[in-house]
Amino acid sequence: MHVPDGFINAPVSAAAGVVAATAVAVSLRGARRELDQRTAPLAGLVAAFVFAVQMLNFPVAAGTSGHLLGGALAAILVGPWTGVLCIAVVLLMQGVLFADGGLTALGVNITVMGVVTVVVAYALFRGLVLLLPRTRASVTVASFVAALVSVPAAAAAFTAIYAIGGTTDVPVPKVLTAMVGVHVLIGIGEAVITTLTVGAVIAVRPDLVHGARGLTAPLRLRVGGELIDAPAPAPDPAPAAPARSPKKLWAAGVVTALVLAGFVSFYASASPDGLEKVAADKGIDAKAEEHATADSPLADYGVKGIEAPRLSGGLAGVIGVGATLAVGTGAFWTVRRRRAHAETGTHAESRTPADETRTEAV
């Protein structure tokens, strides 16, 4: 659903850019509470994984394909604030390096594919988790529903933006019907990918899944005919075991992303995705503009100068995964360090003169 340049007029594109920039700025602050020493590198991995899976277009109808948007997956794995940042990093790398999604439409794409999908998916996910039994199965069910709904929600959001600033005169009801209709089908694929991925991570490291935290429900006892929460067990006097390193999961995720982008992507559907198909059928693309980086060495997910399609596309995918992983990990580590510095400063300010006197005496 990457919106190219020319679909939306300049004023509305600029306004969407302001919305996207504000969302990213707010998410940077929110991500400080979600990221720690273990989850910061995993957030970069999630961005790289979403990039890789977005290369795998799957057929959804005659002559139409779809691909993962990733907002629901990112929000459930690493948290909603970090999830917005993950999708923003992916869209930035795709637009700058691969000429996928217009540069003037970057704000539209981040708003539609990042902000809307994350907000809708995570709100629905949290609501379902609260209603369902607190089990791993409930998390996967909630993931499926949240991912499914997030895709047509993004399609409706694009239609709303088109209704305000579309550059062609196509009846909005027709656009809405076509966009939501095809993206419901794409949403099924999104839900399957999201559920399988979340379920796989929960099976091996549930402690690293943001949406699976606090799964253990309190023990309830029946007293006098009423159910009450059992008293919490006394804390274990033994020292806590050190936290397990996420290195194995990180390595497995990187290898998976590289295989998907470098090899499996060659077998992806070549049919236009949902937005491209609707735009061509309804005439939305009448004023589409050539991408500013159409002549880049990696445009259209191929390496310029390499004639073999399999090698060209695979190498481009590997480069994209590596670049997204590097940029995402660097950004999230920076956010993590700022959180650590802020906590250090807070602790230093909270020290009293008596504390300092005791320290000097020691």
> For the chain, what is the mean pLDDT?
89
Domains annotated on the chain, with CATH? 10-215+248-361 (1.10.1760.20)
The 8-class DSSP code of residue 351 comes to -
Q: What is the pTM of this model?
A: 0.88
Question: Is 60 exceeded by the pLDDT of residue 345?
Answer: no
- pLDDT per residue over 30-41, tens digit each? 999 999 888 888
Question: Is 90 exceeded by the pLDDT of residue 285?
Answer: yes
Continuous segment of H or E residues that includes residue 66: strand 64-66
- pLDDT per residue over 70-82, tens digit each? 999 999 999 999 9
Q: Which residues neighbour 115 within 8 Å (Cβ) at sequence distance 6 or greater?
A: 19, 20, 23, 84
Q: Indicate the pairing of strand 58-61 with strand 64-66.
A: antiparallel
Continuous segment of H or E residues that includes residue 231: none
**pLDDT grade for 224, boundaries at 50, 70 and 90:** low
What pLDDT is stored for residue 242 in this prediction? 56
Section 246-257 average pLDDT: 94
Question: Is 60 exceeded by the pLDDT of residue 360?
Answer: no
Sign of CA dihedral 118, 121, 124, 127: negative
Section 120-132 average pLDDT: 96
What pLDDT is stored for residue 157 in this prediction? 98
350 versus 128: which is more confidently predicted? 128
Burial of 253-273, coded b for 16+ CB within 10 Å and e otherwise, reads: bbebbbbbbbebbeebbebbb
- pLDDT per residue over 320-332, tens digit each? 999 999 999 999 9
Q: How much of the chain exceeds pLDDT 70, in percent?
A: 85
